[in-house]
Amino acid sequence: MSLLQEWRAIAYEQEKTPKEDQLFWANYFNIEKGIYEQLLADPNTVVEGTVEELASKYNTNLSMMVGFLDGINDSLKVQNPIEEMEATTKVNLGFDLEKLYFNMVGAKAEWLYELPAWDNLLPEDKRKELFRTSKLSGTVIKDKKIGRNDPCPCGSGKKYKKCCGANL
């Protein structure tokens, strides 16, 4: 079983009581917040190392580090091979600031996108724009429905009901 599969089995295990599940995630989110605080304190330094070295550096266990790597992977400039990752796999935490903020908003992780460090990293107007864009990315906007008597969108000049709408 890969490290990622082990993490997912632990994180999403169905046999935990609701209280155990709540405690697990509260602990994970606290660890995650601590790692992000350190990363955002010096965003220009790209952190590299094996999975086990990073777990040790951030004072967490291997499983929690794998969970963190799974969560940050979409925000990295070069994604890590998380599916095949072993304890000795060398990983890179070189993240894109805007993509990271956007993804934190998308994940509804207020404890992360409201970290004070963001005030010095992205201007407020940029954060608002990314916030708005992230929130809208999950919103489905329907196009205006074509009426029977409207001109056909194919450009034939006929009414929709006599052209492309005839087969409906």
pLDDT at 139: 67
Which one-letter DSSP state was computed for residue 92? E
pLDDT at 99: 96
- Secondary structure in 3-state letters for 138-168: CCCCCCCCCCCCCECCCCCCCEHHHCHHHHC
pLDDT at 142: 73
**Residue pair 71/32 in contact by the 8 Å Cβ criterion:** yes
What is the Cα gyration radius of the chain? 23
Per-residue pLDDT of the chain (168 residues; tens, 9 = 90+): 789 999 999 998 778 899 999 999 999 999 999 999 999 999 999 999 999 999 999 999 999 999 999 999 999 999 999 999 999 999 999 999 999 999 999 999 999 999 999 999 999 999 999 999 988 877 666 778 888 898 888 888 898 888 887 776
d(CA 3, CA 6): 5
